[in-house]
C-alpha cells in the first residue's frame, strides 16, 4: 500500500522559538517517517505583513536552515518554495471565480481583521483561496495545521467539492490533521511564548542567550515550586522525575534554573551545531530548496493541465 501524503506550509516569519518547535515544527518533521509529504515556504502568504525585500530573502534562507537542522529529509519530503510554482496563484484565480464574497466573509482571519478595524487588503480577503490552491495542487490526504488554520482547510475542501461538482471529479478532498494541543508553552513571563510578546527562548539560541532567557523567567510559585520554570522544564524530563527534583529543591530557584539551563543546552546544542554546519554552505542549501521546487513543479503543472482541460481553455 502506498504511504499517505501530508502537506503543510510555513510562513517565513523570523526566528523560531521552542514553543513553535514543540507546537508545530517537530510534528512536521516526525510525520516524514510514516508519510510522503510536501512542506513549503509560504512566501507569497507572508507578503501581507512582510514588505521588506531584504528581510524576506533572509527569512526564506533561515526557514530552510531551520528545517534542515531539525532533520527534515529532502529525500522523504518535497521541500519547496511557493513563489517558485506559479500554478498556486493561477489556480487561486480559478477558485476565486467559483467562490462568493459572503462565503469568504465568514472566514475567521477576515472577521478578525474586520473586528480590529484594519484596512483589509484584497490578498487577506482572498487568502483562503490561495491556501486552497496550495493544498489541492498536490492531492494530499492530510494537512497538519494548528487549530487556528482548521477553517482554511475546510474552505479548501468546500472549494474542491464545488469545482468537482461544476467541472467533474478533479480534486481529492483533504482532511485537516489538527496538531495535538501540546499544552501551550509559556514564555519567560508566564504568558504564551510568542514572538510578539518578546518572551521566547529561541530554538537555536547560543548558551549565553539560553542562560539570559532562563534567568529572566518570572518565578511565581506555590509551595516553593516556580511554575513557569517547571512548565518549560517538563518538555525535557518526565514529570515523575521532575516532581521529585522540584520538591527536594523547593524554594531554590537559582539551582532549578541552572538545571533547566543545562537541560536546554543539551537539547539545543546539537541542533544549533547542525544549523551552523548547513549555514557554512548557503548555495548548497538553496540548491536543496530549488531541487524541491523542481519536483513540486512537475506535480503542480500536471494538475494544472488537468484543470485547464476540465474548464475548457485547452484548445490546442
Q: Identify residues 110-149 at the interface with ligand TRP (CB under 6 A).
A: 131, 134-135, 143, 145, 149
Find the residue with minimal CB distance to ligand ADP.
23
Whole-number Å distance between alpha carbons of 116 and 1: 48
C-beta of 271: minimal distance to ligand TRP in Å? 22
C-beta of 176: minimal distance to ligand TRP in Å? 9
**Residues near ligand TRP (CB under 6 A), total:** 12
From ligand ADP, ligand TRP, none, which one binds at residue 135 (CB under 5 to 8 Å depending on kind)?
A: ligand TRP
CA distances in angstroms from 31 to 97, 114, 164, 179, listed in the order given: 34, 35, 29, 11
C-beta of 45: minimal distance to ligand TRP in Å? 5
Residue nearer to ligand ADP on the CB measure, 33 or 49: 49
Whole-number Å distance between alpha carbons of 66 and 251: 37
C-alpha cell at 126: 482572498
Cβ neighbours of residue 188 under 8 Å, at least 6 residues apart? 199, 200, 201, 213, 214, 216, 217, 218, 228
**Is residue 296 at the binding interface for ligand TRP, with CB under 6 A as the rule?**
no
**Is residue 42 at the binding interface for ligand TRP, with CB under 6 A as the rule?**
yes
- Name 5's bridge partners: 36
3-state helix, strand, coil in the chain (%, to 5): 60, 10, 30
Nearest to 9 by CA among 128, 131, 107, 93: 131
From ligand ADP, ligand TRP, none, which one binds at residue 134 (CB under 5 to 8 Å depending on kind)?
A: ligand TRP
With beta carbons less than 8 A apart as the criterion, state whether 9 and 145 touch. Answer: no
Indicate which single residue of 6, 8, 85, 155 sits in contact with ligand TRP (rule: CB under 6 A).
Answer: 8
Indicate which single residue of 5, 9, 23, 260 sits in contact with ligand TRP (rule: CB under 6 A).
Answer: 9
Name the site residues for ligand ADP (rule: CB under 6 A).
13, 19-20, 23-24, 146, 182, 184-185, 192-196
**Is residue 45 at the binding interface for ligand TRP, with CB under 6 A as the rule?**
yes
With beta carbons less than 8 A apart as the criterion, state whether 87 and 135 touch. Answer: no
From ligand TRP, ligand ADP, none, which one binds at residue 139 (CB under 5 to 8 Å depending on kind)?
A: none
Residue nearer to ligand ADP on the CB measure, 64 or 193: 193
Where do we find the cell 512536521? 28
Amino acid at each position: 500500500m502506498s504511504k499517505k501524503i501530508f502537506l503543510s506550509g510555513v510562513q517565513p516569519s523570523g526566528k523560531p522559538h521552542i514553543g513553535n518547535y514543540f507546537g508545530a515544527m517537530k510534528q512536521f518533521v516526525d510525520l516524514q517517517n510514516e508519510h510522503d509529504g510536501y512542506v513549503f515556504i509560504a512566501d507569497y502568504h507572508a507578503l501581507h505583513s512582510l514588505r521588506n525585500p531584504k528581510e524576506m530573502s533572509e527569512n526564506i534562507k533561515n526557514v530552510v536552515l531551520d528545517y534542515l537542522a531539525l532533520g527534515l529529509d529532502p529525500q522523504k519530503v518535497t521541500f519547496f518554495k511557493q513563489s517558485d510554482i506559479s500554478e498556486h496563484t493561477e489556480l487561486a484565480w480559478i477558485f476565486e471565480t467559483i467562490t462568493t464574497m459572503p462565503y469568504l466573509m465568514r472566514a475567521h482571519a477576515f472577521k478578525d481583521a474586520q473586528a480590529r478595524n484594519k484596512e483589509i487588503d484584497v490578498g487577506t480577503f482572498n487568502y483562503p483561496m490561495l491556501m486552497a490552491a496550495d493544498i489541492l495542487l498536490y492531492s494530499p490526504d492530510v494537512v497538519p495545521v494548528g487549530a487556528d488554520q482548521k477553517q482554511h482547510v475546510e474552505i479548501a475542501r468546500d472549494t474542491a467539492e464545488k469545482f468537482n461538482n461544476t467541472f467533474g471529479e478533479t480534486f481529492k478532498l483533504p482532511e485537516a490533521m489538527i496538531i495535538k494541543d501540546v499544552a501551550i508553552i509559556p514564555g519567560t513571563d508566564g504568558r504564551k511564548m510568542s514572538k510578539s510578546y518578546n518572551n521566547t527562548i529561541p530554538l537555536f539560541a547560543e548558551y549565553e542567550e539560553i542562560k539570559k532567557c532562563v534567568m529572566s523567567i518570572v518565578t511565581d510559585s506555590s509551595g516553593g515550586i516556580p511554575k513557569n520554570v517547571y512548565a518549560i522544564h517538563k518538555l525535557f524530563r518526565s514529570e515523575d522525575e521532575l516532581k521529585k527534583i522540584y520538591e527536594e529543591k523547593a524554594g531554590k530557584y537559582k539551582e532549578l534554573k541552572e538545571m533547566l539551563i543545562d537541560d536546554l543546552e543539551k537539547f539545543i546544542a546539537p541542533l544549533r551545531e547542525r544549523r551552523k554546519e548547513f549555514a557554512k554552505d548557503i548555495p548548497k542549501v538553496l540548491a536543496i530548496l530549488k531541487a524541491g521546487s523542481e519536483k513540486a513543479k512537475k506535480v503542480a503543472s500536471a494538475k494544472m493541465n488537468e484543470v485547464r482541460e476540465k474548464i475548457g481553455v485547452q484548445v490546442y
